[in-house]
């Protein structure tokens, strides 16, 4: 490696080219010109003494060295974003960005009215909403606040237990009118079922409660919870849905309530370093209050 310390901006350009596969796409994303981006990559290669990309007409193909550097460059990007968010949050005014991560269903179906309410109260807030069913790492500052369906274990986090959101089996009333209502879990097998595509540890735990229903028995398979809920609403068949969410639609009917219920612990968590950030505290409190209302309703 050469003596010259690489510029942080070079790593950002390298990361964007690596993830987009071309100079033109990376330049559009960063708002830079292609020659500028090319110089950043060349400078980083020179500073590190490594060949990072193989140039061709098809684009920029990463070398093994580039792939090995990828997670470190991503960490630099995440740290820089966290630094900007922290700096923007200082002072007494409730303003600046708050990065919130939540599952697809929570982010699309549950959180928007809560976030709209806190935004009305604090117009200076900017919400960055990351939808993912994967657990973003709050300790690495990939997000400021997380809504999670399991108890956070890291000691450095501030976590508030909201209660339990119940999952139940639901179907559209028109589907049940046409196909009848199952009287037992065993009768589910003759119905059009909506379920997972790829098996995970969570799915394996759930299968025990559904008397061993397998992927082969599903008439619609998707790993997207939103797609499953959309299919239920379209009268495709019977599937899992959050009980308070289904209660908003009078056409969605819960089936086998006494025989199947899956409560999910719900938590709001944020990094302990953010407890004195006015913007994060306001968003955290709004999420706690809004989700508590959602569960109780």
Phi (first) and psi of residue 164, to 5 degrees: -115, 130
Q: Give pLDDT, residue 96.
A: 84
Reported confidence tier of residue 186, pLDDT bands at 50, 70, 90 = confident
Q: What is the DSSP letter of 142?
A: S
Q: Give pLDDT, residue 93.
A: 67
Of the listed ranges 198-207, 236-245, 260-269, the least confidently predicted one is: 198-207
Reported confidence tier of residue 84, pLDDT bands at 50, 70, 90 = low
Phi (first) and psi of residue 50, to 5 degrees: -130, 150
Distance, in Å, from the CA atom of 153 to the CA atom of 146, rounded to the nearest integer, reads: 13
Give me the sign of the Cα torsion angle 74, 77, 83, 89.
negative
Q: Which of 85-94, 102-111, 262-271 holds the top average pLDDT?
A: 102-111
User: Residues of 176-206 as b/e, b for ≥16 C-beta within 10 angstroms?
Assistant: beeeeebeebeebeebbbbbbeeeeeeeeeb
Q: What percent of the chain has pLDDT over 90?
A: 37
Structural domains for the chain? 8-86 (1.10.10.10), 93-163+265-296 (3.40.190.10), 165-262 (3.40.190.10)
Q: Give pLDDT, residue 85.
A: 59
Higher-confidence residue: 292 or 55? Answer: 292
107 close to 148: Cβ distance less than 8 angstroms: no
Q: Judging by DSSP bridges, how do beta strands 157-172 and 262-271 pair with one another?
A: antiparallel
Query: Residue 139: is its pLDDT beyond 50?
Result: no
Average pLDDT over residues 288-293: 94
Give me the sign of the Cα torsion angle 286, 288, 289, 291.
positive
Query: Residue 255: is its pLDDT beyond 90?
Result: yes
Q: What is the DSSP letter of 109?
A: I
Write down the residue that tokens 């969605």 correspond to.
Answer: 252
Of the listed ranges 24-28, 37-41, 133-137, 210-214, the least confidently predicted one is: 133-137
Query: Residue 105: is its pLDDT beyond 90?
Result: yes
Which pair of structure tokens corresponds to residue 175?
């589907």
The gap from C-alpha 293 to its chain's centroid, in whole angstroms, comes to 22
Higher-confidence residue: 254 or 297? Answer: 254
Of the listed ranges 10-24, 91-105, 130-144, the least confidently predicted one is: 130-144
203 close to 183: Cβ distance less than 8 angstroms: no
Query: 3-state DSSP call for residue 47?
Result: helix
Q: Give pLDDT, residue 1.
A: 46
Phi (first) and psi of residue 71, to 5 degrees: -65, -30
> How crowded is residue 160: how many other Cβ atoms within 10 Å of its Cβ?
15
212 close to 162: Cβ distance less than 8 angstroms: no
177 close to 199: Cβ distance less than 8 angstroms: no
Maximum distance among all alpha carbons in the chain? 75
Higher-confidence residue: 209 or 124? Answer: 124
149 close to 221: Cβ distance less than 8 angstroms: no
Average pLDDT over residues 114-129: 92
CA angle 175–177–179, rounded 5-degree value: 65
Query: Residue 238: is its pLDDT beyond 90?
Result: yes
Reported confidence tier of residue 252, pLDDT bands at 50, 70, 90 = very high
Helix ranges, 137-277 (H): 173-179, 201-207, 225-233, 243-246
Higher-confidence residue: 100 or 150? Answer: 100
In sequence order, what are the beta bridge partners of 255?
169
Q: What is the DSSP letter of 21?
A: S
């Amino acid at each position: 490696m050469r003596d010259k310390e690489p510029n942080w901006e070079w790593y950002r350009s390298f990361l964007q080219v690596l993830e987009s596969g071309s100079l033109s796409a990376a330049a559009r994303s960063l708002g830079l010109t292609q020659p500028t981006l090319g110089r950043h990559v060349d400078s980083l290669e020179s500073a590190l003494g490594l060949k990072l990309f193989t140039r061709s007409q098809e684009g920029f193909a990463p070398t093994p060295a580039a792939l090995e550097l990828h997670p470190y460059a991503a960490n630099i990007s995440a740290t820089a974003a966290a630094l900007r968010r922290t700096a923007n949050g200082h002072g007494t005014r409730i303003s600046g960005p708050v990065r919130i991560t939540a599952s697809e269903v929570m982010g699309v179906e549950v959180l928007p009215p809560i976030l709209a309410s806190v935004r009305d109260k604090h117009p200076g807030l900017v919400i960055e909403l990351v939808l993912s069913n994967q657990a973003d790492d709050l300790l690495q500052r990939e997000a400021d606040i997380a809504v999670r369906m399991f108890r956070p274990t890291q000691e450095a986090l501030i976590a508030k237990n909201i209660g339990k959101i119940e999952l139940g089996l639901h179907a559209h009333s028109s589907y049940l009118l046409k196909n009848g209502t199952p009287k037992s879990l065993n009768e589910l097998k003759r119905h059009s079922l909506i379920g997972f595509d790829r098996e995970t540890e969570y799915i394996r735990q759930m299968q025990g409660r559904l008397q061993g229903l397998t992927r082969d028995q599903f008439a619609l398979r998707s790993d997207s919870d939103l797609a499953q809920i959309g299919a239920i609403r379209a009268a495709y068949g019977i599937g899992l849905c959050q009980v308070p969410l289904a209660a908003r639609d009078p056409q969605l009917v819960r089936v086998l309530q006494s025989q199947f219920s899956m409560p999910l612990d719900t938590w709001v968590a944020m990094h302990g370093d953010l407890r004195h950030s006015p913007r994060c505290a306001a968003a955290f409190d709004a999420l706690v209050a809004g989700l508590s209302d959602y569960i109780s309703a």
